[in-house]
């Protein structure tokens, strides 16, 4: 029991971190809370499915095209819509949320729901760790998740674009004074956030079905992790996904599967009431309370 | 030749603004018509709309109009934006259903009790989040309906996923139709009047700049509680009404649909005008009913409409009409 809880808790935590990274990155750089996050996840899944099964592409090509497509969609959400309501957070939320809902309901209308659609796993077979059977795809989730976090850290700390991102996150006005194009960076942040959630969809979806119903759950999970960790902190994302990931696995094991989302929702509420800036968020500590 | 659009108040607008002893019948009509005509239209609507289905659409429209009014009142008087009108609606709906099923109270009594109890319950839930602002408050309101729906699903209390069935309906069709319409008109005009009272002005100052209001010695949190209670009461009434209308309450009372459509109505009609969201509801909800054959595509259509309006015409229909009614426009050379 205990080894299996530890292993599956870790896998669940990394999955949560993968889902939340894109949301956190976008919010951290451009202050856009992308409420179409869950919809982007589902859209990537169906795009990859269509490319694989209707266009009959090679697996790697299909996956690559799906991720590129979703990042183009992310960038165009900013360029075509968000740019007009920039700086008004509530309108940004309403716009992204409505766009996400529209995409999900459109997919449902065209018959993309239920358990008929799934992506093939990247790796088949399984291994036994500490006496617990684990399939290779779940191990791949952990490895890919860890690699992504590392690459993200490298990019944001050692490239010019990454440094510009962090400058935007710290002080947008000062960054603009130094010649950093705020709109361009925000477009990039939306595109990168979308690409990250697309990648997570490619890695995580083979473990279950592609379902439009999961869009809301993905959004709630991402928000839960980001709120608990602090909205702009990558370290916060990692710690918060470990906390929520293990809490979910424990409640599922001892109370039942219905409680998985309740843990995430409670995490959001309790954090917002007790410490709205989250565990690691420092920058907005004063502004968010009256 | 450079030109610009100049807007000047109409003479009659200026006259009726400042002089309180109105002299001519035209001046009185100028003030009265925009208030009386829509009210009469709302009251006559059940008679004008054909058959039982038409009346049903009018009632549902009024229910959504109440939700939209509640959303607009909360955002106007506290500056908080609620993404979870479904919370008020669902809590009111479930309280009405439970009171009717377990205590056997009559629908009129459950409506009143559900409004008061539901508003108090929602206010108590949201009270710890009141110091939050902007996107943080919006997120808590988004989370509550989801959370309550999951808890009901997981613990199977109050009927679980099956919901509550066998709830009494209204005593007759006249009560069923006119109770909600009269309540809607009363709330609409009452809240507009309320915003001009001392308390209303203090609330508006809080939504404009809460720091300044606090610096002037206003207890921001307790005022927000009052405003939230009033808004929640409207939403809870709408939910309780819906329960008795359909004689059923289920998890759909907490669905996201109920949170998005009121916002869309407010954006169409004009945010911050209180009358605008009601106008928006009377446009959007019948439209959504007509599109019912399209299935989920109607959610797609009004989500996209909402986006388009927010991006390109954020002013809203009512603000536009008000401007045309009160002002003349002309091009002048610069």
pLDDT at B153 over 60: yes
CB-based contact A288:B133 (threshold 8 Å): yes
Q: Does the ipTM exceed 0.90? A: no
- Across the interface, whether the CB atoms of A265 and B150 are under 8 A apart is answered yes
Min Cα distance A175 → chain B (Å) is: 24
Give the mean model confidence (pLDDT) for residues B201-224. Answer: 89
Per-residue pLDDT tens over the stretch B37-73:
989 998 888 888 778 888 888 999 999 999 999 999 9
* Confidence category of residue B20, pLDDT binned at 50, 70, 90: low
Which pLDDT belongs to residue A290? 41
Which residue from B192, B232, B247 is spatially nearest to B91, judged by alpha carbons? B232
For residue B24, the 8-state DSSP code is S
Per-residue pLDDT tens over the stretch A82-121:
888 887 777 888 889 889 988 988 888 887 776 677 777 7
pLDDT at B22 over 70: no
Q: Which residues of A touch B220 (CB under 8 A)?
A: 290
Which pLDDT belongs to residue A289? 46
Residue B50, both tokens? 């054909």
Q: How far apart are CA A194 and CA A98, in angstroms?
A: 17
3-state helix, strand, coil in chain A (%, to 5): 75, 5, 25
Summary mean pLDDT of chain A: 83
Q: Measured between alpha carbons, how far is residue B127 from residues A246, B119, B121, B140, B229 in Å?
A: 30, 12, 10, 11, 10
Q: Which of B82, B150, B295 to mutate to test the interface with A (most CBs of A within 10 A)?
A: B150
* Confidence category of residue A238, pLDDT binned at 50, 70, 90: confident
Min Cα distance B277 → chain A (Å) is: 16
Per-residue pLDDT tens over the stretch B124-139:
999 888 888 777 888 8
Q: Which of A30, A96, A105 to mutate to test the interface with B (most CBs of B within 10 A)?
A: A105
Question: Which chain A residue has the Cα nearest residue B128?
Answer: A273
Q: How far apart are CA B20 and CA A172, in angstroms?
A: 51
| Burial readout B99-131 (b: 16 or more C-beta within 10 A, e: otherwise) | bbbeeebebeebbebbbebbbebbbebbeebbb
3-state helix, strand, coil in chain B (%, to 5): 80, 5, 15
Which pLDDT belongs to residue B118? 94
For residue B328, the 8-state DSSP code is E
Which pLDDT belongs to residue B173? 81
Which residue from A245, A168, A184, A190 is spatially nearest to A35, judged by alpha carbons? A190
The winner for highest mean pLDDT among A49-58, A280-289, B111-120 is: B111-120
- Across the interface, whether the CB atoms of B154 and A269 are under 8 A apart is answered no
- Across the interface, whether the CB atoms of B304 and A98 are under 8 A apart is answered yes
Within 10 angstroms of residue B53's Cβ, the number of other Cβ atoms is: 10
Could you give the percent of chain B with pLDDT greater than 70? 98
CB-based contact B138:A93 (threshold 8 Å): yes
Q: Angle at which helices B275-290 and B25-48 pack, to 10 degrees?
A: 30
Residue A56, both tokens? 């009959």
Residue B124, both tokens? 């108590």
Q: How far apart are CA A91 and CA B311, in angstroms?
A: 9
Q: How far apart are CA B120 and CA B63, in angstroms?
A: 20
CB-based contact B53:B47 (threshold 8 Å): no
pLDDT at B89 over 90: yes
Q: How far apart are CA B8 and CA B11, in angstroms?
A: 9
Beta bridge partners of A235: none
- Across the interface, whether the CB atoms of B154 and A262 are under 8 A apart is answered yes
Per-residue pLDDT tens over the stretch B249-293:
888 888 877 888 888 888 888 888 888 999 999 988 888 888 777
Residue entry with tokens 């002048």? B332
The answer, for B306 touching chain A at a CB cutoff of 8 Å, is yes
CB-based contact A278:A231 (threshold 8 Å): yes
- Across the interface, whether the CB atoms of B133 and A290 are under 8 A apart is answered yes
Summary mean pLDDT of chain B: 87
- In three-state secondary structure terms, A54 is coil
Which residue from B69, B257, B38 is spatially nearest to B149, judged by alpha carbons? B257
Q: How far apart are CA B67 and CA B55, in angstroms?
A: 19
What is the end-to-end Cα distance of chain B in Å, rounded? 8
Min Cα distance A128 → chain B (Å) is: 33
* Confidence category of residue A70, pLDDT binned at 50, 70, 90: very high
Residue B319, both tokens? 């603000």
DSSP annotation string for B68-133: HHHHHHHHHHH----S-HHHHHHHHHHHHHHIIIII---HHHHHHHHHHHHHHHHHHHHGGGTTB-
Mark residue B322 as left, alpha or beta (left: phi above 0; alpha: psi -120 to 50; beta: remaining).
alpha
| pTM recorded for the entire structure | 0.87
Min Cα distance A163 → chain B (Å) is: 26
* Confidence category of residue A286, pLDDT binned at 50, 70, 90: very low
- In three-state secondary structure terms, B199 is helix
Q: What angle do CA B163, B165, B169 make, to 5 degrees?
A: 130
């Amino acid at each position: 029991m205990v080894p299996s809880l530890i292993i599956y808790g870790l896998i669940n935590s990394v999955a949560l971190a993968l889902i939340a990274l894109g949301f956190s990155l976008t919010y951290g750089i451009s202050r856009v809370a992308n409420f179409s996050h869950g919809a982007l996840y589902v859209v990537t899944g169906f795009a990859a499915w269509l490319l694989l099964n209707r266009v009959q592409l090679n697996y790697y090509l299909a996956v690559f095209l799906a991720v590129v497509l979703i990042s183009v969609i992310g960038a165009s959400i900013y360029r075509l819509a968000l740019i007009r309501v920039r700086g008004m957070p509530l309108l940004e939320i309403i716009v992204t949320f409505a766009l996400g809902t529209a995409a999900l309901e459109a997919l449902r209308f065209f018959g993309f729901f239920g358990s008929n659609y799934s992506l093939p796993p990247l790796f088949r077979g399984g291994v036994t760790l500490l006496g617990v059977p684990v399939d290779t795809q779940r191990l791949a989730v952990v490895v890919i998740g860890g690699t992504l976090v590392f690459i993200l850290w490298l990019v944001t700390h050692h490239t010019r674009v990454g440094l510009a991102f962090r400058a935007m996150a710290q002080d947008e006005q000062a960054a603009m004074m130094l010649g950093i194009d705020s709109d361009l960076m925000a477009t990039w942040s939306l595109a990168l956030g979308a690409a990250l959630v697309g990648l997570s969809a490619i890695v995580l979806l083979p473990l279950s079905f592609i379902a439009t119903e999961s869009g809301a759950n993905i959004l709630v999970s991402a928000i839960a992790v980001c709120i608990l960790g602090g909205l702009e902190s990558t370290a916060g994302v990692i710690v918060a996904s470990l906390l929520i990931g293990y809490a979910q696995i424990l409640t599922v094991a001892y109370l039942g599967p219905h409680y998985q989302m309740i843990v995430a929702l409670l995490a959001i509420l309790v954090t917002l009431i007790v410490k709205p800036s989250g565990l690691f968020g420092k920058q907005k500590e004063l502004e968010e309370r009256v | 030749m450079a030109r610009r659009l100049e807007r000047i108040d109409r003479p009659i607008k200026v006259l009726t603004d400042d002089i309180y002893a109105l002299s001519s019948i035209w001046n009185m009509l100028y003030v009265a018509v925009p208030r009386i005509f829509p009210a009469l239209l709302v009251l006559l609507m059940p008679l004008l709309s054909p058959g039982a289905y038409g009346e049903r659409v009018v009632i549902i429209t009024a229910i959504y109009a109440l939700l939209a009014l509640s959303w607009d009142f909360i955002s106007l008087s506290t500056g908080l934006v609620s993404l979870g009108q479904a919370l008020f609606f669902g809590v009111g709906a479930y309280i009405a259903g439970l009171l009717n099923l377990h205590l056997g109270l009559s629908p009129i009594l459950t409506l009143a009790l559900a409004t008061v109890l539901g508003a108090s319950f929602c206010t108590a839930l949201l009270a710890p989040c009141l110091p939050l602002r902007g996107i943080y408050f919006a997120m808590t309101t988004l989370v509550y309906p989801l959370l309550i729906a999951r808890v009901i699903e997981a613990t199977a209390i109050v009927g679980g996923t099956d919901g509550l069935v066998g709830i009494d309906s209204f005593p007759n069709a006249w009560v069923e139709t006119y109770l909600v319409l009269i309540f809607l008109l009363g709330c609409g005009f009452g809240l507009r009047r309320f915003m001009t009272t001392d308390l209303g002005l203090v609330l508006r100052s809080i939504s404009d700049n809460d720091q300044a209001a606090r610096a002037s010695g206003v207890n921001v949190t307790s005022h927000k509680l009052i405003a939230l209670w009033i808004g929640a009461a409207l939403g809870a009434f709408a939910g309780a009404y819906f329960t008795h209308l359909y004689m059923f309450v289920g998890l759909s009372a907490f669905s996201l649909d109920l949170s998005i459509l009121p916002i869309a109505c407010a954006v169409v009609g004009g945010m911050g005008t209180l009358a605008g969201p009601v106008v928006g509801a009377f446009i959007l909800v019948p439209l959504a009913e007509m599109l019912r054959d399209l299935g989920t595509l109607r959610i797609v259509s009004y989500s996209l409409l909402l986006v388009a309006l927010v991006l390109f015409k954020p002013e809203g229909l009512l603000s536009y009409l008000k401007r045309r009614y009160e002002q003349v426009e002309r091009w002048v050379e610069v």
